[in-house]
Amino acid sequence: MTVTPSSFPDHPAQAFNLVPFAQEHLTGAQRLSQEAGWPHRGEDWALNLSVSEGVVALIDNEVVGTALCTNFGDVAALNMIIVDARMRGQGLGARLMAWIIACAGARELRLVATVDGQPLYAKLGFVETGRIVQHQGEARAAAPHQPVWDGCAQDRAALAAMDMNASGMSRAALIGKIIEHGQILKTDGGFALLRDFGRGRVLGPVVARDVAGARALIAEAATRCAGTFLRIDLPEQVGLAGCVEDLGLTHVGGGTAMVCAARMQNDRNFTTYGLVSQALG
């Protein structure tokens, strides 16, 4: 697809192409996310791309737009939707969305919207389902109120089953990739994954049967990260903001969870207390 932008000061009267997102676009994609104020390292982009398909907009081989679709069973997470600031307001965001919505097929579509993105998604039929609150900072140690221990790679299927029950997303492949380099924290009736991300480390997903399990996992992660940067993205309705504030993780922003073509979900025995990321839910 080729489009002529009406204004792009550095490249007047040139066309952009929409092409499938490939490894060679990662550096340009990271430049866009940095300019948008997002903390993703090359490795963070590479993890998302490794479980996704997507699109980039190019002008003279420069990446000026990105979007990924990550299919997790019956649910697609739409993510990393960014248009170069020089190109906004000309319909490029809508074209990127059309591409990745086609990648999702008949799946339920989920995303976490920024203030910039929300009007576009609302026009496409997405509706709000809740708020995501982003907390981060220098973690403080705390004693978990129930035992927490390390998991191992053989736990992958069991972790994926708990995560699927909580989220409705089939994410065994993603969990497998995260635990190649990250840590698995387990407690009675729950688990959490701790990995390098952005400015330090991120805890997510945090999946547990009850809030006591989630609190124990979060306290253990804060202890392991004490004195260093830790981030967690919480669904606001789980009510753990006060708990993570006490661990040194202050509220710095967040987003709006949105869904389109929602499907019925089976009964849940587990709850998602922390996201893998705003991108991947």
Ligand X SMILES: CC(C)(COP(=O)(O)OP(=O)(O)OC[C@H]1O[C@@H](n2cnc3c(N)ncnc32)[C@H](O)[C@@H]1OP(=O)(O)O)[C@@H](O)C(=O)NCCC(=O)NCCS
**Rounded distance, CA 206 to CA 274, Å?**
5
Tokens of 247: 């661990």
In this complex, which beta carbon is closest to ligand X, that of residue 64 or of residue 243? 64
Give the nearer residue to ligand X in terms of CB position, either 16 or 270.
Answer: 16
CA proximity to 1, closest of 16, 23, 22, 21: 16
Compare residues 10 and 245 and give the one whose CB is closer to ligand X.
Answer: 10
Residue 128 Cβ vs ligand X, minimum distance, rounded to whole Å: 13
**Closest-CB residue for ligand X?**
93
CB-nearer residue toward ligand X: 100 or 175: 100
Q: Please state the closest distance from residue 210 (CB atom) to ligand X, in A.
A: 31
3-class DSSP assignment, residue 112 = strand
Burial 51-90 (b: 16+ CB within 10 A, else e): bbebbbbbbeeebbbbbbbbbbeebbbbbbbbbbeebeeb
How many residues interact with ligand X (rule CB under 6 A)?
A: 19
Report the C-alpha gap between 175 and 19 in whole angstroms: 28
- Decide: is 181 part of the binding site for ligand X (CB under 6 A): no
Binders of ligand X among residues 61 to 120 (CB under 6 A) are 81-83, 88-94, 111, 113-114, 116-117, 119-120
Residue numbers 117-136 binding ligand X by CB under 6 A: 117, 119-120, 123
In angstroms, what is the minimal distance from the CB of 89 to ligand X? 5
Least distance CB 198 / ligand X (angstroms): 16
Cβ closest to ligand X, residue 83 vs residue 219: 83
* SS3 call for 102: helix
Supply the Cα-derived Rg of the chain in whole angstroms. Answer: 19
What's the min distance (Å) between Cβ of 96 and ligand X?
7
Distance separating alpha carbons of residues 182 and 240, to the nearest angstrom? 23
How would DSSP label each residue in 121-162? Answer: HHHTT-EEEEEEEEEEEE------SS-EEE--GGGHHHHHHH
Q: How far is the CB of 20 from ligand X (least distance, A)?
A: 18
User: In the bound complex, what is the minimum distance in angstroms from residue 67's beta carbon to ligand X?
Assistant: 8
Q: Which is nearer to ligand X, 33 or 187 (CB)?
A: 33
Among residue numbers 8 through 37, which ones bind ligand X (CB under 6 A)? 36
Nearer to ligand X, 123 or 263 (CB): 123
Q: How far is the CB of 48 from ligand X (least distance, A)?
A: 13
Q: How many helices (H) and strands (E) does the chain have?
A: 8, 14
By CB under 6 A, the residues from 230 to 249 that bind ligand X are: none
Q: Which is nearer to ligand X, 68 or 160 (CB)?
A: 68
> For binding to ligand X (CB under 6 A), which residues are involved?
36, 81-83, 88-94, 111, 113-114, 116-117, 119-120, 123
